[in-house]
Amino acid sequence: MAANTHLNIIDHPSPNFGDRPTDSQVDILVMHYTGMQSGQEAIDRLCDPASSVSSHYLIEEDGRIFRLVDEQKRAWHAGRGEWQKCVDVNSNSIGIEIVNPGHEFGYRPFPDIQIQSVIELCQGILGRHTIPASRIIAHSDMAPDRKEDPGELFPWQELAKQGIGLWPDIDPKEVRPDEEFEHLLDIIGYGENDAIKRCVAFQRHWRPRNISGVIDDECLLIAKALADASKR
Ligand SMILES: [Zn+2]
């Protein structure tokens, strides 16, 4: 299958862009959701000179792709933040706005047809620019203090399967339980059992407000205190 040849991109120019610094190169890709009631509302805002925001592309929920700013130009999508020491993300990135009302207006799953367009657009971008997988990020990755987009429903794993971004393949069975915690549970009195089940049981008794099955610092502290108390 010839990639991208059938990709139909609708030009919808935004005036909100500048030149990239001559020494900059495109090596970051930032995913956003629009976070507005409708796609049209988002397009209007991204093309309104008064808003001073834009992105290179916008992808509607029906899969249509709009080009707002040429990839060679510097769009205004990222704002304050940083990723891998880069503090001027706009100069070095391409920004894609993906239509979704977002957490404020009714966050909902991204339709398959929309994600298919995201994948095909990204594959094209990766063919034109050298962007390491570790630099394909969420807006919230570079600005965790002020952004949530594109959010937890964004199918990063699906994108990674298509060669876009990172998704580490971990086998939960290979996660080593914390040896100290296990030892403490032995002292407290737990018998041999599955490590996660032991942890859940421990939490159900002594840390009931958060039964996660995951050993955290609080669990460790409680277990230490219990083990000390158990020795007396
Ligand atoms: Zn954003």
- Residue 140: which CATH number? 3.40.80.10
Give the distance (Å) from ligand 1 centre to CA of residue 34: 7
Rounded to the nearest angstrom, the distance between the alpha carbon of 151 and the centre of ligand 1 is 10
- Same domain, yes or no: 106 and 204: no
Q: Last residue of a domain, which of 161, 190, 218?
A: 161
- Do 199 and 98 belong to one domain? no
If asked whether residues 147 and 190 sit together in one domain, one would say no
The structure tokens listed for 156 are: 């990063």
Do residues 146 and 44 share a domain?
yes
Q: Please give the span between the terminal C-alpha atoms of the chain, in angstroms, as a whole number.
A: 71
Same domain, 187 and 154: no
CA of 60 to the centre of ligand 1 (A): 15
Q: For residues 66 and 76, is the Cβ–Cβ distance under 8 A? A: no
Distance 55 CA to ligand 1 centre (A): 9
**CA–CA distance from 49 to each of 15, 46, 58, 74 (Å)?**
6, 8, 17, 15
Specify if 58 maps to a domain: yes
Instruction: Give the active site residues.
Output: 97
Task: Write b or e for each residue in 97-111: b if 16 or more Cβ atoms lie within 10 A of its Cβ, otherwise e.
Answer: bbbbbbeeeebeebe
> What residues are paired with 94 via a beta bridge?
29
Q: Tell me the mean pLDDT in the region 206-232.
A: 87
Distance CA 95, CA 54 (A): 9
Together in a domain, 88 and 177: no
16 & 105 share domain:
yes
- What pLDDT, in 10s, does the model give residues 41-99? 999 999 999 999 999 999 999 999 999 999 999 999 999 998 888 999 999 999 999 99
Structure tokens at 225: 């205190």
**pLDDT, position 4:** 47
**What pLDDT is attached to residue 1?**
40
219 in a structural domain: yes
Residue with tokens 């100290």: 180
- Residues 154, 227, single domain; the answer is no
How many Å lie between the centroid of ligand 1 and the Cα of residue 142?
10
Which candidate, 120, 127, 136, 117, places its Cα nearest to that of 28?
136
Same domain as 139, residue 184:
no
Instruction: Let me know whether 214 and 112 are in one domain.
Output: no
Domain identity same for 59 and 108: yes
Which residue, 135, 161, 187, sits at the end of a domain? 161
**Rounded Cα–Cα distance for residues 91 and 93 (Å):** 6
Domain residue limits at 24:
9-161
Among 120, 135, 161, identify where a domain stops: 161
In a domain, 3, yes or no: no
* pLDDT score of 168 more than 80: no
Count of structural domains, the chain: 2
Residue 188: per-residue pLDDT: 87
Strands 73-75 and 17-19: antiparallel
Reply yes or no on whether the pLDDT at 39 is more than 90. yes
Q: What is the largest CA-CA distance in the chain?
A: 75
At 203, is the secondary structure helix, strand, or coil? helix
How many Å lie between the centroid of ligand 1 and the Cα of residue 121? 18
Is 90 among the domain residues?
A: yes
Rounded average pLDDT over 193-216 = 89
